Copies of this chain bind each other. A is one copy, B any other.
């Protein structure tokens, strides 16, 4: 394991400190809890507050998506571990402007438990209404008839963007939750891992893989995929990922999609664009229209090698959310 860090047990604190110092015009830590960060621009009165969060190590997810057009605040967990309820509650209190707060997070046991507890505390102790929407876009993480077991991966980006836009449009709590759930329903991702990341505290690789192997369907924390095999060409990988996605969701000729080819941390943009090239070919051949594309590192796993492909099927409402401008330190869309 080779990293540019100081003390392995303090990587999250030092990252957050560096982040807040680098972007003071965007974000600040709350005095009550240094894992609770909010936008320096106060949430507008009567706007639904958007709270995101999860483990660290996925940067730009999640703290990088606090800013205009996306989230109002973030609760920061340890590496690949859910934040505890305390910072979630503190952010909730800070960003509630009378219209309630929506929690957005990936479908992982720890997150479900901690965000659930925080929601209860916010309701009982602070009388703040909380809505929740889970991301569960990873096709490989469970079969279609056990969809409630699926994990959230890079599609979280689309779901957070959709909900952030809906809140900006002035939607009420129920409608923001509805849009987030629709975005999740319409979004599918599938990834491939070719090299592991290393956990700072243990120095251990997140998964074992041979020098000539890839793992299809690998999770964002090294959760086992559905198939290990010899590393194939980018076209072959793209074919496989898109095929599995399109087996899982009906997207027909004439339909419009947003596409995300997401790097896991150590994959050059060159490779991501080569994968995108094939994704575009496949969708074009099927008559599926690409409305907007995102290629780059959006939700990473430290220095993991590999990528994922995400498709979000668009209707008129989701298209509006995709078009909505965003101004965050790690993601800007005009």
Contact = CB atoms under 8 A, between A and B. Distances in A.
Residue of A3, A56, A237, A268 contacting most chain B CB atoms (<10 Å): A268
Contacts of A305: 2, 266, 303
Interface stretch (A10-18, A110-118, A167-175, A311-319): A10-18
Nearest to A192: B4
Given A19-B273, A303-B305, A237 B268 contact: no
B237 A273 contact: no
A276 B6 contact: no
Contacts of A273: 14-16, 18-19, 22, 59
Identical copies in the complex? 2
Contacts of A306: 4
B297 A297 contact: yes
Interface string A3-47: 111100001001111110111000000000000000000000000
B274 A15 contact: yes
Contacts of A275: 4, 18
A228 to B, nearest CB: 14
A109 interface: no
Given A21-B280, A22-B295, A327-B334, A300 B269 contact: yes
A206 interface: no
Q: Which 9 A-B pairs have the closest CB atoms?
A: A18-B277, A18-B273, A266-B266, A332-B332, A59-B269, A4-B271, A22-B293, A18-B276, A4-B234
Contacts of A152: none
Contact of A268 (B14, B22, B302): B302
Interface string A188-202: 000010110100000
Contact of A5 (B3, B274, B296): B274
B276 A21 contact: yes
B21 A277 contact: yes
A231 interface: yes
11 contacts: A2-B305, A3-B271, A4-B192, A4-B234, A15-B269, A16-B273, A18-B274, A23-B293, A59-B269, A265-B268, A296-B330
Contacts of A19: 273, 276
Nearest to A21: B280
Nearest to A273: B18
A233 B5 contact: yes
Contacts of A11: 270, 274
Nearest to A7: B233
A57 interface: yes
A211 B233 CA distance: 29
A250 to B, nearest CB: 24
Contacts of A214: 2
